[in-house]
Amino acid sequence: MLAYARLVLICLLLFLALTENVELSNIVLGALIGILVAVILKPAPESLSIRRLPVALFNLARYTAWLAVDIIRNGIRVARIVLDPKLPIRPGILAIKSDMKTELGIALNAHAITVTPGEQVVEIGEDGTLYTHCLDVVASAAGAEAAQRTRRRLMEGIFE
Amino acid sequence: MLETIAYAAAILAVVVGTLFSIVGIIGLVRLPDVYTRLHAAGKVSTFGVALLAVAAVLAVPYAWSRGLLLIVLVLLAGPVVSHVIGSVAYRTGVPMRGAVRDDLAGRISPASRDAVRAMHEQEQV
């Protein structure tokens, strides 16, 4: 039931964001659409406690902020590489071990790597290893482990 | 006062977003192969589109929630697209130019590689 309620709420918020109209009739319409989506999708019941929600949201905000800083830093790094007359790229594929347990965790991890410029997950192995193509594989390999540890710590705060 | 600050921030976002888009396009032209070019193209979507949407949210008083939603969706979908392009390129055997290191070499299962290749050939016929 809780999973249904959550899905309806998410759909309602999305609908309100899209229509930008918070009249009662529009809210009712959004809720009805949300219920329709929930009935069609049948979300699996999962254990989630409402008490953990503020902590999870706070950790999500912290993770987003860290990701934004990482994106900007790597964006400037890639811009410098591209604009350098010598084009100093050392491309290659690097295996990064992802210790996330759930599929959603692995997907989020791969997304976090891919969204930063200069690194991109090309393939995901059976054991969750992320094969990442890097513009500068030497520099990325040097910093990969520390970055992965930070990512993992921040993401664990969201899920557990 | 607040409006002026928001407007100045919007102008800054437009300028920075456009600069990063230009750099991304330069990279698209200069870089040697599909994998490295994906990095440059991905930058246009993360910086270019997202910053232009930020500018729109700051400068235009209405439609801000739609703008934020657009940013979130672009940041969620862009990496997925470039991952798929890179993955298919690797499976169809597009070579990496000047690769220093390849941890993935020989790890793609032959069955899945052949399946992608067969699809590719079918499309060309």
Distance from C-alpha of A1 to C-alpha of A44, rounded to nearest angstrom: 9
Minimal CA separation from B64 to chain A, in Å: 9
Residues of chain A with pLDDT below 50 are: none
pLDDT given for residue B15 in this prediction:
93
For chain A, where are the alpha helices, taking DSSP H only? 2-19, 24-41, 53-83, 103-115, 137-159
Distance from C-alpha of A87 to C-alpha of B40, rounded to nearest angstrom: 13
Q: What is the end-to-end Cα distance of chain A in Å, rounded?
A: 21
Asked if the model's pLDDT at residue B31 lies above 70, the reply is yes
Ramachandran category for residue B7: left, alpha or beta (phi over 0 → left; psi -120 to 50 → alpha)? alpha
A residues 121-160 lying closer than 8 A (beta carbon) to B: 121-123, 125, 131, 133, 135, 137-138, 141
pLDDT given for residue A78 in this prediction:
86
Among partner residues B38, B79, B105, which is closest to A115 by beta-carbon distance?
B79
More confidently predicted of B58 and B119: B58
More confidently predicted of B115 and B1: B1
Minimal CA separation from B123 to chain A, in Å: 22
What is the number of CB-based contacts under 8 A between chain A and chain B? 125
Chain A CB contacts of B105 below 8 Å: 93
CB contact under 8 A, A17 and B82: no
Q: What is the end-to-end Cα distance of chain B in Å, rounded?
A: 63
Chain A CB contacts of B75 below 8 Å: 115
SS3 B120: helix
Q: Residue A134, exposed/middle/buried by CB under 10 A (0-12, 13-18, 19+)?
A: buried
Asked if the model's pLDDT at residue B122 lies above 90, the reply is no
What are A128's two structure tokens? 């969750």
Residue B98 CB neighbour total at 10 angstroms: 12
Distance from C-alpha of B69 to C-alpha of B75, rounded to nearest angstrom: 10
Task: Name residues whose C-beta falls within 8 Å of residue A23's C-beta, 6 or more positions apart in sequence.
Answer: none
The ranges assigned to domains in chain A are 2-41, 53-159
ipTM topping 0.95: no
pLDDT given for residue B12 in this prediction:
93
Minimal CA separation from A2 to chain B, in Å: 25
What are B105's two structure tokens? 């070499």
More confidently predicted of B105 and A66: A66
Distance of CA A13 to the CA centre of its chain: 19
Q: What is the pLDDT of residues B37-93, one digit of tens each?
A: 888 888 887 788 888 998 988 888 777 888 888 888 888 888 898 899 988 888 887
Among A78, A7, A71, which residue's Cα sits nearest to residue B71? A71
The ranges assigned to domains in chain B are 2-96+104-124
pLDDT given for residue A48 in this prediction:
60
Taking a C-beta distance cutoff of 8 angstroms, is the pair B28, B37 a contact?
yes
CB contact under 8 A, B102 and A90: no
Taking a C-beta distance cutoff of 8 angstroms, is the pair B27, B48 a contact?
no
Residue of A nearest to B46 (CA): A115
pLDDT given for residue A46 in this prediction:
66
